[in-house]
Amino acid sequence: MSGLTVCEKILARAAGLGSVMPGDVVEATPDVALSHENTFLIHRAFREMGGVRIANPSSVVIVFDHRAPANTVNSANTQKAVRAITSDLGITQFFDVGAGICHQLLIEQGIAKAGMLVTGSDSHTTTCGAVGAIGIGLGASDMAAIWAKGSIWLKVPESVKVEISGKTPEGVYSKDISLETVSHIGAMGADYCCLEFHGDYISDSTVSERMTLCNMAAETGAKSVVVPQTLLPDPLANYSRTIKIDSSKIGPLVSTPHSVEKVAPVSEFEGTKVDQAFIGSCTNGRLDDLELASAILAGRKVHPGTRLIISPASAEIYAMALDKGIIGTLVSAGAVITSPGCGPCLGAHQGVLADGEVCISASNRNFRGRMGSREASIYLASPATVAASAIEGKIADPRRYIR
């Protein structure tokens, strides 16, 4: 006897099959086809394929978030061209500059739902696993094929069960759990797999916390990541392995330069001078993240030698944070608030790092050169650790500031 995992159920349904096995190659019809500024490249390949009309235009979602508003003339010309493309091809789900980050909007706007197959031309498409969808990142040519044919070939991945259980200690957040998960599995330890999250930490977590986890889990090489809900795995579903993580034994963590899997307790790096601190991105730019930062920064100041940059993940989050006085608190503390979008995470604008600088960031990647100079160093941590570090001007344990 056997059964299907969530990923197998979703891929079987999207391929019009009764059942699938890991290793099967299926032609699947995605419910969502997400892209950002790279729509320009997708359209180019789509035209080369002879595409005239999009096979399934209601599945297409386009968001300007990577360089929004445009940072260079090239970016501006790209965005101008993509605006014309959306209008010519009848794409109605188009979010222009300032709306927010694509992965945030898919969930916030109710586009991604449990049981859906979401494809995106961005590696962090895994984020929508937080609401029970299977999100798979692809390149521009694959997305062009989806535009042209309405379907794409996908290999059914093995599913790995990840059980996270235990009450988290104070000062420990979903980012810390995520870093522990990446470190435990390794930077490519889940290559070609789908991670399925279980355990009482997961069942007690909020959508925002699950988004952080499903987002960061892309750094294990996972093809997709899912928190089962509505559509559940069969009791006898097959997992290639089970990984158990005790979330009660985790303290505040940092991922150290230049690899996400190099994770250590924050205590080992306390005192490292910080030039820039960043809170934002599809990993940690949500209301709970900004609220946590403002609770820590209230009545305090960012250290004179340090810049704190905060990018709300969407316009809706920005408006709610304004309403609640969070933005005011952050600005009074000396933070720079950018427009909603990816911000400095990908090193294009809004806080590019100089040679030799150190950044502590609540984003998801610390590859050499990711946020600017290849001579810069990036540490990844929770928004609480980033806020505490911004106050001290050096990497700091957030537990001193939790009230």
Partner 1 sequence: MICGKVWKFADDIDTDAIIPGRYLDDYSPLSLAKHVMEGVDPTFASKVSKGDIIVAGRHFGIGSSREQAATALLVAGVEVILAESFARIFYRNAVNKGMLPLICKGGAEAFETGEQIVIDIEKGVAHSAEESGKSVALDKMSPYISKIYSSGGLVKLVISELGKT
Identify which of residues 77 and 203 has a Cβ nearer to partner 1 in the complex: 77
Residue 86's region, left for phi above 0, alpha for psi from -120 to 50, else beta, is: alpha
Mention every residue, 6+ apart, whose C-beta is less than 8 A from residue 381.
175, 176, 179, 252, 253, 254, 255, 266, 360, 361, 362, 389, 395
Closest CB 181 distance from partner 1, rounded Å: 17
Identify which of residues 168 and 363 has a Cβ nearer to partner 1 in the complex: 363
Closest CB 88 distance from partner 1, rounded Å: 18
The one segment of 96-104, 307-315, 328-336, 342-350 that binds partner 1 by CB under 8 A: 342-350
Residue 122 found at the interface with partner 1 (CB under 8 A): yes
For the record, the structure tokens of 175 come out as: 């980012």
CB environment 77-111: b (16+ within 10 A), e (fewer): ebbeebeebbeebebebbbebebbbbbbbbbbbeb
Identify which of residues 119 and 205 has a Cβ nearer to partner 1 in the complex: 119
Residue 324 DSSP label? T
Residue 71 found at the interface with partner 1 (CB under 8 A): yes
Residue 129 found at the interface with partner 1 (CB under 8 A): no
∠54-56-57 over CA atoms, to 5°?
65
Residue the block writes with tokens 């391929």 = 15
The one segment of 134-142, 264-272, 322-330, 393-401 that binds partner 1 by CB under 8 A: 134-142
Cα–Cα distances in angstroms (integers) from residue 133 to residues 10, 81, 137, 163, 298, in the given order: 8, 31, 13, 18, 37
Segments in 33-136 forming alpha helices (H):
39-48, 73-88, 102-108
Identify which of residues 36 and 175 has a Cβ nearer to partner 1 in the complex: 36
Binding mask 137-176 for partner 1 (x = CB under 8 A): xxxxxx-xx--xx---x-x---------------------
Closest CB 395 distance from partner 1, rounded Å: 22
Q: Which residues contact partner 1 (rule: CB under 8 A)?
A: 25, 38, 40-41, 44-45, 48-50, 66-67, 71-72, 74-75, 78, 120-123, 125, 137-142, 144-145, 148-149, 153, 155, 187-188, 191-192, 221, 223, 259, 346-348, 352, 365, 367-370, 372, 374
